[in-house]
């Protein structure tokens, strides 16, 4: 095609249109995440400040962080699937790769309309999980956004809901108990079909007439995180890093937080692997004998 002023005008219009769409869809989520499956069931809205993941009968969806971390405090505001969400699982977790991977899990197990969600937590160390604790929540997680925080530091792994600690898994490596301490982990989230186990042990199946099932995300924050660059190099141990700004790396629960943790575990915990004698007839995992907060 020969060049002409009209061609140039068309080219300029296309360029401006592309720039508009790139600007419209730029924002925290595109800056921070990639889709890792089911992109057709995902949307980025509000100039990149809101992301949704959906599940239909054909496919679920998920995203993964561009950064990987060795120790991090990660906040995400999540609004869960409303209505009859039985059989669905919305997962939000840190994980490394490989057979001996580490993982820190929030999983939200859907339920029939009117029945509460179950918040399922787990910790994998060097490929070994089976450290489940489950909770009901003290609010409706489908009515509004709530903040779910993973704090993984040198002292422990803490799970928070709206700033309230619900679980603590201490670093007991000095006692020979595995703890995630060196494998970089990325942040993942997904929504998927788990009706073989998620609701009442798989007795309640997904009602596909209610699809799509949609979870929404906003206010992602990884400002307090050690981003892994190369082997043992992170943003927390580079020559220019300021350790005075990284108090979260050594954070523990103060007296007030210990009281909040006890309140949640006394009133809202519905399963604790450290008290399941039928599952562990030969004795509980070693961390359970140190104290019962795991």
Q: Which of 103, 132, 168, 231 is catalytic?
A: 103
Give the single-character DSSP code of 125: B
List, in sequence order, every residue forming a beta bridge with 159; answer none if it has no partner.
150, 167
How many Å from the N-terminal Cα to the C-terminal Cα in the chain? 69
List, in sequence order, every residue forming a beta bridge with 88; answer none if it has no partner.
193
Answer whether 120's CB lies under 8 Å from 262's CB.
Answer: no
How far apart (Å, rounded) are the C-alpha atoms in residues 177 and 207? 42
173 catalytic residue (yes or no) = no
The token pair that represents 98 in the structure block:
């490989």
Query: What backbone torsions phi and psi does residue 14 show, to the nearest 5 degrees?
Result: -65, -40
CB pairs under 8 A, 24+ apart, for 275-283? none
Q: Is 30 exposed, middle or buried (0-12, 13-18, 19+ CB in 10 A)?
A: middle
Q: Which of 107, 168, 173, 231 is catalytic?
A: 107
- The residues, any chain, with a CB within 8 Å of residue 28's CB and separated by 6 or more, are 48, 49, 220
How far apart (Å, rounded) are the C-alpha atoms in residues 93 and 25? 25
Q: Where are the beta strands (DSSP E) in the chain?
A: 33-37, 42-45, 50-55, 61-79, 88-95, 103-109, 118-124, 133-135, 146-152, 156-161, 164-170, 185-193, 213-230, 233-234, 269-272
58 catalytic residue (yes or no) = no
The token pair that represents 193 in the structure block:
């079909």
Q: Which residues of 178-202 are buried (b: 16+ CB within 10 A; e: fewer)?
A: bbbeebbbbbbbbbbbbbeebbeee
Catalytic positions:
103, 107
């Amino acid at each position: 095609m020969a060049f002409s002023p009209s061609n140039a005008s068309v080219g300029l219009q296309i360029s401006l249109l592309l720039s508009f769409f790139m600007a419209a869809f730029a924002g925290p989520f595109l800056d921070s995440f990639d889709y890792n499956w089911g992109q057709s069931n995902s949307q980025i809205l509000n100039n990149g400040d809101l992301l949704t993941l959906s599940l239909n009968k054909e496919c679920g969806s998920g995203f993964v962080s561009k950064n990987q971390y060795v120790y991090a405090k990660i906040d995400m505001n999540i609004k869960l699937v409303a209505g009859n969400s039985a059989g669905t699982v919305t997962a939000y977790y840190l994980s490394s790769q490989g057979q001996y991977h580490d993982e820190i899990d929030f999983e939200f197990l859907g339920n029939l309309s009117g029945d509460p969600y179950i918040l399922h937590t787990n910790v994998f160390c060097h490929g070994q999980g089976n450290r489940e604790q489950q909770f009901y929540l003290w609010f409706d997680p489908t009515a509004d956004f709530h903040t779910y925080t993973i704090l993984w530091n040198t002292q422990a792994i803490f799970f928070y809901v709206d700033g309230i600690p619900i679980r603590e898994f201490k670093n007991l490596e000095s006692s020979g108990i595995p703890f995630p301490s060196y494998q970089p982990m990325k942040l993942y989230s997904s929504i998927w079909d788990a009706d073989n186990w998620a609701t009442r042990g798989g007795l309640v199946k997904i009602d596909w007439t209610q699809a799509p099932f949609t979870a929404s995300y906003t206010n992602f924050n990884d400002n307090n995180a050690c981003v892994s660059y190369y082997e043992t190099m992170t943003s927390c141990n580079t020559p220019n890093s300021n350790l005075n700004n990284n108090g979260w790396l050594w954070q523990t629960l103060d007296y007030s937080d210990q009281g909040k943790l006890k309140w949640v575990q006394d009133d809202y915990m519905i399963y604790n692997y450290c008290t399941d004698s039928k599952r562990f007839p030969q004795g509980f995992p070693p961390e359970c004998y140190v104290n019962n907060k795991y």
